[in-house]
Amino acid sequence: MFKVYGIIPARFGSTRFPGKPLHKICGKPLIAWVYEAVKKAESLTDVIVATDDDRIMEVVNGTGGVAVMTPSELPSGTDRVACAAGNFDDNDIIVNIQGDEPLISPDLINDLVSKLLENPEIDMATAVTKIESEFELEDKGVVKVVLDRNDKALYFSRLPIPCQRDGKASVESNLYVRHLGIYAYRGGFLRKFVEEKPCALERAEKLEQLRALWMGGSIAVVRTNDEGFGVDTPEDAARVEEILRERGIVK
């Protein structure tokens, strides 16, 4: 038997939004919203918050969740995920879910797990959605992905790729998709990944998934229309409150 871990890295420190995981949204800490959404994914056997802060751990455990303490000096969320998973087996599946996505779709998590279960040759799975505006296309904060005919990732970049040699990049071409920051790893590949040093491509683009491609790993992609809503600022948190009320989740 194998396990399917859903692990949510949550650090207290944030340059733009210190203490973000504990920020109240409709009276409940952000991390609690994320945890509850992730728990709805039936494919997961374990859901864990990986944190470096006693306050976050106390909130999660106090709401009936499971949190584990990880070293604050870990270099990335992926390292924190691998640390929190502990002695996982090579055949286990570990899903890395952003701790600032209170509207994460449980169905998307299930689809990522299914992608690995149905394709044993795949090392990782992630998600993309269609780019809808020229602003997104040019924004370096929006990561673009080039896919092959089987929806496997060829390359990730902050620039519009593929390049339109004879014209300007346009969303109307339907060539461009946006990467969403959620990953499912096979346990054996995750272990190799965190043991490998960042490669030159990763350091240039500041995208750690390029390390996986550089290592020769295969990344399958799930297409989704539900891109969630990441909370990076207090203004984002206010918008999430509006969405929760619009959906009738809170009054």
The CATH number covering residue 29 comes to 3.90.550.10
Residue 185 domain-assigned?
no
Residue 16 domain-assigned?
yes
Residue 209 domain-assigned?
yes
Q: How many domains does the chain have?
A: 2
127 and 82 in one domain? no
113 and 91 in one domain? no
Phi and psi angles of residue 74, each rounded to the nearest 5 degrees, phi first = -60, 140
pLDDT in tens, the chain (251 residues): 889 999 999 988 776 788 899 999 999 999 999 999 999 999 999 999 999 999 999 999 998 999 999 988 888 889 989 999 988 999 999 999 999 999 999 999 999 999 999 999 999 999 999 998 999 999 999 999 999 999 999 999 999 998 888 878 877 777 899 999 999 999 999 999 999 999 999 999 999 999 999 999 999 999 998 877 888 888 998 999 999 998 888 77
How far is Cα 157 from Cα 152, in angstroms, rounded to an integer? 15
Residue 164 domain-assigned?
yes
Task: Give pLDDT, residue 15.
Answer: 67
How far is Cα 210 from Cα 54, in angstroms, rounded to an integer? 32
76 and 29 in one domain? yes
Where a domain ends, among 104, 126, 150?
104
223 and 111 in one domain? yes
202 and 117 in one domain? yes
122 and 163 in one domain? yes
Query: CA-based angle 73:77:80, to the nearest 5?
Result: 60
How far is Cα 110 from Cα 108, in angstroms, rounded to an integer? 5
Residue 246 domain-assigned?
no
75 and 24 in one domain? yes
Residue 243 domain-assigned?
no
139 and 216 in one domain? yes
How far is Cα 39 from Cα 47, in angstroms, rounded to an integer? 7
129 and 21 in one domain? no
Residue 141's domain comprises 107-180+197-227
Where a domain ends, among 104, 124, 147?
104
Tell me the HSE value of 108 on the side-chain side, using a 13 A CA sphere: 24
Residue 60 domain-assigned?
yes
144 and 84 in one domain? no
Where a domain ends, among 74, 104, 134?
104
111 and 80 in one domain? no
Residue 247 domain-assigned?
no
